[in-house]
């Protein structure tokens, strides 16, 4: 049986990985979260890797609070960059393949076209910068890596969809940003993509998001429509939102990812985002 270390197992993607691989008897998951493993502690990471001798390491651990990263960049760097480096060193020594989850925030978002895997990153936020540094450290220290850049992820746990549904219980109207464009991605779809790559040597950088694009306001409106809610979405600009809630980290205005690497090297295809949010809402 092949051992797989999953970091951040209690997060949305970690839970999805467990669901997708639960019935695959070929693998045994060694689940860790921050209480079991501090990925910024290289000695702790190495002890676990040497003990488990994993076939793969799936790094779902991250500091994803974008505003929090701006307020505490040292913590963001320690988790998003140093943690990725430590796992890379462990993977290289034990012969494991490493799955590093990255983000659309590595791009500036100041374009009007979809981003390809080969496009030059230029992050504007501390979150994006530390995730990009994590990517680079993975490439520096590990020879068997899969870097998966995803976007607007939701799944089991706290997420945008649940927030919107909660607001709809007491509000006839909600204000949602309408000038940030991306692609909502269901954690179960991303977990299926990882499962597709897991037995392969198809290493490299992959964009890994659902197909299509929308604004946050359009995403909220679709959630309400599918849930049968009468709540009206009032679109507001990022500038207006920042006036109401100052101190926001910069976010990409347009960061739609093209999944070209998946299309060219695998049979896996992500569904369109509308199908995936409908599937997710049925699980609530």
Active site members? 127
Tokens of 272: 């369109």
Residue 48 in contact with residue 3, Cβ under 8 Å?
A: no
Question: Which residue has tokens 């779902």?
Answer: 60
Measured distance CA(208)–CA(193) in Å, rounded? 8
d(CA 72, CA 65) in angstroms, rounded, equals 10
> Per-residue b/e over 182-216, b at no fewer than 16 CB within 10 Å?
bbbbbbbbbbbbbbbbbeeeebebbbbbbbebbbb
DSSP string, 140-183: HH-SSEEEEEE-SEE-SSS-HHHHHHHHHTT-SEEEEE-S-EE-
Hey, how many other C-beta atoms are within 10 angstroms of the C-beta on 260?
15
> What are the angstrom distances between the C-alpha of 67 and each of 61, 105, 123?
17, 13, 14
Contact 147, 206 (CB under 8 A): yes
- Which pairing describes strands 2-7 and 27-31: parallel, antiparallel, or unpaired? parallel
DSSP 3-state of 144: coil
CA distances to 172, 177, 184 from 231, in Å: 5, 16, 20
């Amino acid at each position: 049986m092949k051992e797989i270390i999953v970091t951040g197992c209690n997060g949305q993607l970690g839970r999805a990985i467990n669901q997708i691989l639960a019935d695959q008897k070929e693998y045994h998951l060694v689940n860790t979260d921050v209480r079991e493993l501090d990925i910024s502690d290289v000695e702790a990471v190495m002890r676990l890797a040497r003990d488990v001798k994993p076939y793969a390491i799936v790094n779902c651990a991250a500091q994803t609070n974008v505003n929090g990263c701006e307020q505490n960049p040292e913590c963001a760097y320690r988790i998003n960059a140093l943690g990725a480096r430590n796992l890379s060193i462990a993977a290289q020594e034990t012969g494991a393949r490493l799955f590093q989850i990255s983000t659309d925030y590595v791009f500036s978002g100041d374009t009007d076209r979809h981003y390809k895997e080969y496009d030059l990153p230029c992050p504007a936020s501390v979150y994006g910068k530390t995730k990009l540094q994590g990517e680079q450290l993975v490439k520096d220290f590990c020879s068997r890596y899969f870097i998966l850049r995803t976007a607007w992820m939701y799944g089991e746990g706290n997420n945008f969809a649940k927030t919107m549904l909660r607001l709809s219980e007491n509000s006839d109207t909600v204000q949602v940003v309408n000038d940030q464009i991306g692609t909502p991605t269901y954690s179960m779809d991303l977990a299926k993509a990882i499962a597709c790559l897991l037995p392969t040597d198809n290493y490299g950088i992959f964009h890994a998001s659902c197909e299509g694009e929308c604004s946050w306001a359009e995403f909220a409106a679709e959630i309400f429509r599918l849930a049968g809610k009468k709540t009206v979405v009032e679109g507001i600009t990022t500038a207006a939102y920042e006036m109401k809630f100052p101190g926001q980290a910069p976010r990409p205005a347009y960061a739609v990812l093209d999944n070209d690497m998946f299309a060219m090297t695998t049979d896996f295809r992500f569904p369109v985002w509308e199908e995936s949010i409908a599937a997710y809402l049925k699980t609530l």
